[in-house]
Amino acid sequence: TQLLEQSPQFLSIQEGENLTVYCNSSSVFSSLQWYRQEPGEGPVLLVTVVTGGEVKKLKRLTFQFGDARKDSSLHITAAQPGDTGLYLCAGGTGNQFYFGTGTSLTVIP
Amino acid sequence: EAQVTQNPRYLITVTGKKLTVTCSQNMNHEYMSWYRQDPGLGLRQIYYSMNVEVTDKGDVPEGYKVSRKEKRNFPLILESPSPNQTSLYFCASKRPGLALNEQFFGPGTRLTVL
């Protein structure tokens, strides 16, 4: 089983603060995705990274794929209450997908 | 509206009583998949299907069955549910081919097995 570990598991911060979430694995993935999930809903894709060292920005969110394609990070600048949710990384190999353990983020107004 | 639908959304049942959770997508996606989500474990893939009549085991297939007789439907069957199958279940679909293609998830089915 390929395991993706995320840290921290829980994060509670004040509005306006910056934060970074990490996703680490002992396995190499052909692509890595970040999803955000809100209570009572299914995950929704934020970004896909495919190239080692790749950096993608989505407004205040910055995603990075490690050079060895085993790890990734998500950095949020000036967090807002609307960023509250569960953040999941997912690695794809062929037709199977492996999800991380999730980071539950709460942004306090 | 492009979507993945699941039914029922909530289900409470007893050990050993066969049940089926339905999943349907209207995006003409070849690839469909079932996941279960448990606290501290993230989402784990149960089964996936590359196309009609083609299914494969994911990471945690024990105790589950699936079928893919039509492109749009991918039901999850629990022949003899047990309490350790109490979980939140998600169905997803995507275009085939590359793993980087976006998966579209249903709203989830919360199952409790007593």
- Within 8 A of A85 by CB-CB distance, chain B residues are none
A24 touches chain B (CB under 8 A): no
How far, in Å, CA of B90 to CA of B63, rounded? 16
Cross-chain residue pair A40–B107, CB shorter than 8 Å = yes
A vs B: CB pairs below 8 A: 67
Is the separation of the CB atoms in A41 and B109 below 8 Å?
A: no
Q: How far is A57 from chain B (nearest CA, A)?
A: 17
**Angle at CA B70, nearest 5°, toward B65 and B76?**
20
Residue A65: the pLDDT is: 92
Residue A95: the pLDDT is: 80
The low-confidence residues of chain A, meaning pLDDT below 50, are: none
**Mean confidence (pLDDT) of chain B:** 94
Nearest CA in chain A to B94: A95
Nearest CA in chain A to B60: A1
Q: How far is A83 from chain B (nearest CA, A)?
A: 19
Cross-chain residue pair B108–A45, CB shorter than 8 Å = no
Cross-chain residue pair A90–B48, CB shorter than 8 Å = no
Cross-chain residue pair B103–A30, CB shorter than 8 Å = no
B59 touches chain A (CB under 8 A): yes
Other Cβ atoms less than 10 A from the Cβ of A109: the count is 8
Residue A30: the pLDDT is: 80
A88 touches chain B (CB under 8 A): yes
Written as six digits, the tokens of B89 are 């279940």
The closest alpha carbon to A106, from A18, A9, A10, belongs to A10
Could you read off the pLDDT of B52-95 as tens digits, one per residue? 999 999 999 999 999 999 999 999 999 999 999 999 999 999 98
Residue A10: the pLDDT is: 96
How far, in Å, CA of A101 to CA of B73, rounded? 28
3-state secondary structure of B83: helix
How far, in Å, CA of A71 to CA of A68, rounded? 8
Cross-chain residue pair A30–B43, CB shorter than 8 Å = no
Written as six digits, the tokens of A95 are 């037709």
Residue A2: the pLDDT is: 55
